[in-house]
Structure 1
Amino acid sequence: MHDIRLIRDDPAAFDAALARRGVEATSPALLALDERRRATVAEAQAAQTERNALSKAVGQAKASRDEARAQDLMTQVAALKEALPRLAAEERRIDEELADVLAALPNLPAADVPDGADESGNVVAHERGEHRHFAFTPAEHDAIGPTLGLDFETGVAIAGARFTLLRGSAARLARALGQFMLDRLTREHGYEEVAPPLLVRDEAVFGTGQLPKFADDLFRTTDGRWLIPTAEVSLTNIVREKILGEGELPLRFAALTPCFRSEAGAAGRDTRGYIRQHQFDKVEMVSIVTPDASEGEHERMTACAEGALDALELPYRRMLLCAGDMGFTAARTYDLEVWLPGQGAYREISSCSTCTDFQARRMNARYRPEGEKGTRFVHTLNGSGLAVGRTLVAVLENYQQESGAVAVPAMLQPYLGGLTLLESGK
């Protein structure tokens, strides 16, 4: 959500920033609504002031036994009394209209975010890790996985398209990956482990920006709750409607949860394999910080996600997303893309974003600086640390053997009882 006062102060800059995200100029309409709202507020305040003055004059007229004047003044008071609820209702209506327009606008891109309309405008920040050289033609994960328990057919039979059943080695590998990622974040990087609700209310998904614009991307239950598309929703809303002390910050939360996405806009994309699913597991990171700490926190969070890839010895690259390819709430986003030798391509495995105070305004999440009476909005950040399913895909493709077995990365072996090789039927 945007601060109307900042738009009022520099509408041209606001429109220019939105234009970088492919959104047409909106400040004229916003400022017209804002002017109507302020005029209505001023009219209501003037009417209330006049009513108070006339009420006092009525008392004075009655005290001087001037009944005619008293009756005339009382008529005026009655008219104002009738007008005030109408003005209050008009103010609420304009407030709601203004809020609806603001809620539909994405966050503004940070100054260092490159221009661009889509992923072709993204910039490689750096590449890490060596591509493995195979003495055979590496296969894609959907050819390797079925013998290890990645059961696409049964998943579809049970739940329909974009659902997969994991059993045996595949299920154990997924569990090991999730535990490994969560342990790193909590033991080495100071994140607090959270087991959050998977079902949330309208206010929660509005707060993190999925509503109202992206309702079609979500699953909704018959009682009106929403299945979380990412644990970011639950974790960020921990501070909803709260005023924190500056000494409480930063807050860092991590959770391993199932995530649910309808993929309404993904028809025809990644229909094969385990890349794009309606249900998948992900380790999520969320940070709540003061505004002056958010730049450093974004680098720190992204480095935490990179550390998991480094530990698994998976080659990857960091991408700085252009303005047109970022998510709705992001001011800056780094995507981490892992190398998949079977596909011969890099694929996204993590996305880390700073949302500045955009989500905080929607959630009314604030903090009180030391020594100050007033409050300020916190800054929120979120990132994948990592997507478990896509990491499983990366392990299968990067550690595949010519025999069809898959070597277990050294960092995962303690989570698999010392197992060094995943083989068919085990």
Structure 2
Amino acid sequence: MATSFYCSSAIHTQHQVNVSFGSKNPLQNVKNLIKSFGIPSKSCSPHVSLQQGNWVKLICGAVDCIDCAADPSVINAVNEGIETAREIVSIRRPWVMISVNDDEDLHFRKAEFDPEDCPSDCSRPCENVCPANAISFERENSTMEVPFGSYQKAKPKVRFKMQGGVITERCYGCGRCFPVCPYDKIREITYVRDAMATAELLKTNDVDAVEIHTSGRQTNLFKELWDDLANSVKYLRLVAVSLPDTGDATISTMNQMYGIMEPHLSCFNLWQLDGRPMSGDIGRGATRESIAFAVRVAASSERPPGFLQLAGGTNVHTVDGLKKRGLFRTHITCAEPNHLQSLIGGIAYGGYARKIVGRVLSSMGSENGVTGIECHAEHLLKALKEALHLVGSVKSYNHPDGMQR
């Protein structure tokens, strides 16, 4: 029996999808879906996407760029995943980006608590509010001897002890559990990536880009980090700087940071405008701050060179918001003759993308345990549909009216 699906919320009317798959082989259906959407071949560079204004960076998957932790094991896992995907269907390789920070940053923290400190009658709101399903509790029964006087035999009593807590590898530091704990038991653990170790990672063939997260309020720590990384930047295709909105000081700080980078900057550079960090999965309104931040920076004639990318609060409503402000795929003339570049290079999807794809991974895990999604083509097809649902409006793929196999 043919399978069909219909995407509407993330793709405008002219891009709605109604694709039928005649194949009973789910993996073949994955290939059919990629082919029908006209996803770019190997010849289309991520740099071209930046110029055209349809660049997409994901944390949980790869379109033009995939962002991951500056950890060798994580980088290896990302590259293995990319090669596995390319064995399924022939597409160009996305860039692999690692993220570092120059000081304490919301993106570089974890939640932590001792579940044994939690009262057994707690309603555990932290578990309910966690978008990554990174908090888990289990009750362990234990017994203790309760004496009844010197001539009576001790009577066993059942005690409950809580186990579990934060699953570190799932926690991405959104912070939503901190304020909801009724007993204030959850702690914030922050960390700063080692600069010298990161510099060595940049020299490998496994990394194409680096993203530096900074507070945007001072440049001395940024300079210290850059000085440690500068000699390794020549191996990269892209350097990105992620910063929050600091009001009137934003453009001045961006220019100071660009001045620090420029002597060693031999590749493309990008400014990630982090409007409302890690909030894209909250709702429609979360993207407004990100768009407002982009509007102010894009309107400034004094901003430094570099592509602009939206982040922080980005979700399925972001493209609509950019279109209303006249910023989606709006081109400007560059210094080079007859050369155009998009005012906004693209969009980074973090928490929202993690949420929608996470639903598929959670379902797969509950059915099959720990396994690779490529081994379960039905779930891979679902995840791919979710991803195309999100990025289709950015990429303006050629969505077919129908396809029979």
Structure with bigger RCO (C-alpha 8 Å, 6+ apart) = 2
- Which protein is bigger by CA-based radius of gyration? 1
Q: TM-score, normalised by structure 1?
A: 0.25
Q: TM-score, normalised by structure 2?
A: 0.26
